Structure 1
């Protein structure tokens, strides 16, 4: 194995508190939006693409309005995350430092453009990763973006680490093994490897 590709939310960090505040502010800025966004709202949509999240959280609006709301949420979210970050899972920095000495590390997440950059900016972890991708930049599915990372970086033997069924499906699509981060937001029964905390990666690799 020469590389490890990571999901972001629920795998490397939990940004729910920061994002819930940002999205609630976004809703207050739009007269046709209502209510507020909670951490539970976000956690039940983790791993989905932006359009799918909009359909679930703003189902009382027409599709064009749903996208207006979600785009405003994402705009404010980037500012909040750059200022306040999210909650890194325990021992993450130590584990990344150790793994990056042996393996090439990457991120593929179902997020908008600028989201991974906000993660890098606040937590100063960009030094551990060689490349990243998301549908906000490519318009592709997570599985297609994993394949893009593999092809672009000429990787020979990769593995994907994530926490949801969507992550497992994406790894299957890309034809690579899957590590289930059981401490994240999803519940899975099928996987190639399972970790209960980030540091368990050091036992696998």
Structure 2
């Protein structure tokens, strides 16, 4: 295949602890003084779009109030991610360097606008990727954003690498093969290929 499109959380890195700390700070400042997020809490909602996360976490609030809270969480997590980053999966940069010699690389994630840029800023990996997209910027689903990336960059052949059912669904929507990152956070019901470690992409591709 010509191109590889990646999910971010659970595929390229683990930012759960940083986000847990950031969101705890943000929601406490928003009036939820006793609310504390753990790494596992964040892991359970990774891969979902922000409005869905907001509904799960704050079902009692209005849509306007949920947005206000999640915007505060986004501001805090992007600042903390830029400052302290997350945990890159083993051999990530070495593998990206090798993959870029023969493939075009992209990111499509279900995150807020600015999150992928924070990932780049924290770990200096922007040079490996040609383009990225997310629903925070487009308002589209992950599958639609994959299609958008492919259209915008004239991609004729690609795979999508991710770790959740939502990633599988997105790849199916876009009509491209799905590579299951089994070291991540989810358990999709099916996949076309499976990798147990990030550097196994070198063998697969």
Category of TM-score, reference length = shorter chain: over 0.9
Runs of 4+ residues deviating >4 angstroms: none
1 CA distance for matches of 2:32 and 2:68?
10
Residue aligning to 2:166: 166
| CA RMSD across the alignment | 1.0
Residue aligning to 2:52: 52
2 CA distance for matches of 1:2 and 1:164?
23
Residue aligning to 2:126: 126
Residue aligning to 1:155: 155
2 CA distance for matches of 1:56 and 1:198?
31
TM-score by length of 2: 0.97
TM-score by length of 1: 0.97
Residue aligning to 1:2: 2
1 CA distance for matches of 2:68 and 2:76?
13
Matched length:
205
The Cα shift of 1:32 comes to 5.2
The Cα shift of 1:33 comes to 6.4
1 CA distance for matches of 2:52 and 2:34?
18
CA deviation vs aligned residue, 1:14-43 (integer Å, no higher than 9, x gap)? 001111110000011112565111111110
2 CA distance for matches of 1:66 and 1:39?
21
Which blocks of at least 5 consecutive residues in structure 2 are unaligned?
none
CA deviation vs aligned residue, 1:116-149 (integer Å, no higher than 9, x gap)? 0000001000010000000111110000000000
Q: Determine helix, strand or coil for the equivalent of 2:77.
A: helix
2 CA distance for matches of 1:59 and 1:182?
31
Q: Determine helix, strand or coil for the equivalent of 2:179.
A: strand
2 CA distance for matches of 1:13 and 1:32?
28
Say whether residues 1:68 and 2:68 are aligned partners. Answer: yes
Bigger CA drift: 184-193 or 1-10? 184-193
Bigger CA drift: 34-43 or 7-16? 34-43
The Cα shift of 1:182 comes to 0.6
Bigger CA drift: 41-50 or 25-34? 25-34
1 CA distance for matches of 2:34 and 2:72?
14
Residue aligning to 2:100: 100
Aligned residues of 1:33 and 1:69 also touching (Cα < 8 A): no
The Cα shift of 1:189 comes to 3.6
Q: Determine helix, strand or coil for the equivalent of 1:101.
A: coil
1 CA distance for matches of 2:152 and 2:189?
31
Residue aligning to 1:79: 79
